[in-house]
Amino acid sequence: MKTTTLSVGFIPLTDSAPLIIAQEMGYAAEEGIALDLKRAPSWSSLRDMLSFGRVDAAHMLSPVPVAAALGLGGAGTALSAVSVLSVNGNVIGVSNALAEKMRAQGHDFGFDDASAAGKALIAATDETLRIGVPFPFSMHAELLYYWLSALGLSVPEALQVRTVPPPLMADAMEAGEIDAFCVGEPWGSIAVENGVGTLLLPGAAIWSFAPEKVLAVRADWAETEQSLLGRLIRATWRAGRWLAEPDSRSLAAEILSRPQYLGVPAEVLDRALTGRMVISAQGEEREVPRMLEFHAGAASFPWRSQAEWIGRQLAARTGLDPEAAGQAARATFRSDLHRAALEGTNADLPGASSKLEGSLASAIPVASEAGRLFLGPDQFFDGRIFEPRDS
């Protein structure tokens, strides 16, 4: 088979691992492709690289294809999410000054109770909370709006959301430009390492199975290059399966730490991969189940119900029609292309393409192609359940 090179953009984050591992561990080569991995400085630049054809595919924030379909902040190019590259993986951190104030008011930084953490954060905020996120249309932003508004914070009046590229988040906190952040690993841990922040909560405590990054391509490319797309989906799926093995994590951290990828010490990258998080400069540690998931529970499957949730959240805060937004959003998560690519592999995919979001408190078996699939907990912190309109 002749090797075809695909250019793929990524942001230096731990959850870019499936793409990096697909190339480095030979899963791409097994499919007759080579991944020319191009590191981008920010999410806006990566979105534009994909939209304007400078890369064939990209490691992308899950709400970006949805936002593009809704005409929000994009280049007008239709994008498709053909796989979920990672579930969870974000952390919320606060400045040391804010952390000290929260501790003085009795918060224990338990790192697992979103209600307690949110109430403590709101109580310690004098007027406006300045919080950094990597991009306006991101799971970081959606989780924050959902979480803080559910706890009574006046959004957006008392919340000032600022866009900061992930590698610069610690610098922004050190400069006093933000009071808090929500960012993907390892950049929350870097704020801890640099002594400028304390981690308050993992994103998984707000939504325990949030689709964080997707494998995104241009919608027209997905239709015209289905063979290449299938190879790319299979390579990243196999990489995700490898990453899910506990014995793979040390090697994964070493590979990701290389200068051309993340350029961060392997021992820092290992935290999100293992779920053993260091939350403060004093070395406090917390265990986080499913801190970052690449494979288990059909993690790579692009559920149309998750896309609809994102679309309706975006509609609610931008004044769009929620029904139309939900329908447009569903079309961007291409479960059909994902299924087609993995046909003939041993991937056990769910029988449906939509589900109730937030209804599972524990792992349960579900109808699937091979009958072996268990879906894990997917609850929202406040117990709400999202029912898609077209399941």
Per-residue pLDDT at 1: 66
Reported as a single tens digit per residue, the pLDDT across 112-147 is 999 999 999 999 998 899 999 999 999 999 999 999
DSSP string, 289-324: TTSEESSTTTTT---HHHHHHHHHHHHHHHT--HHH
Reported as a single tens digit per residue, the pLDDT across 343-365 is 999 999 999 999 999 999 999 99
Which tokens is 250 given?
Answer: 């040390």
Beta bridge partners of 60: 214
pTM score, two decimals?
0.97
Q: What are phi and psi of 284, to 5 degrees?
A: -60, 135
Sign, Cα dihedral of 134, 138, 142, 143:
negative
Taking a C-beta distance cutoff of 8 angstroms, is the pair 143, 135 a contact? Answer: no
Per-residue pLDDT at 369: 78
Return d(Cα 248, Cα 242) in angstroms, integer: 7
Per-residue pLDDT at 127: 84
Reported as a single tens digit per residue, the pLDDT across 32-83 is 999 999 999 999 999 999 999 999 999 999 999 999 999 998 778 999 999 9
Per-residue pLDDT at 44: 96
Mean pLDDT, the chain, whole residue set: 96
Beta bridge partners of 380: 207
pLDDT, mean of residues 4-31: 98
Per-residue pLDDT at 155: 81
Q: Is the pLDDT of residue 311 over 80?
A: yes
For tokens 């002594």, name the residue: 195
Per-residue pLDDT at 285: 98
Q: Running DSSP on this structure, what letter comes out for residue 205? A: G
List Cα–Cα distances, 93 to 212, 333, 335, in angstroms.
Answer: 18, 30, 34
Return d(Cα 219, Cα 331) in angstroms, integer: 10
For tokens 């695909």, name the residue: 6
Reported as a single tens digit per residue, the pLDDT across 271-299 is 999 999 999 999 999 999 999 999 999 99
Residue type at 370? A
Q: Is 367 exposed, middle or buried (0-12, 13-18, 19+ CB in 10 A)?
A: exposed
Per-residue pLDDT at 258: 98
Taking a C-beta distance cutoff of 8 angstroms, is the pair 14, 186 a contact? Answer: yes
Per-residue pLDDT at 391: 52
Per-residue pLDDT at 250: 97
Nearest to 59 by CA among 112, 25, 23: 23
CB atoms within 10 A of CB 361: 11
Reported as a single tens digit per residue, the pLDDT across 318-347 is 999 999 999 999 999 999 999 999 999 999
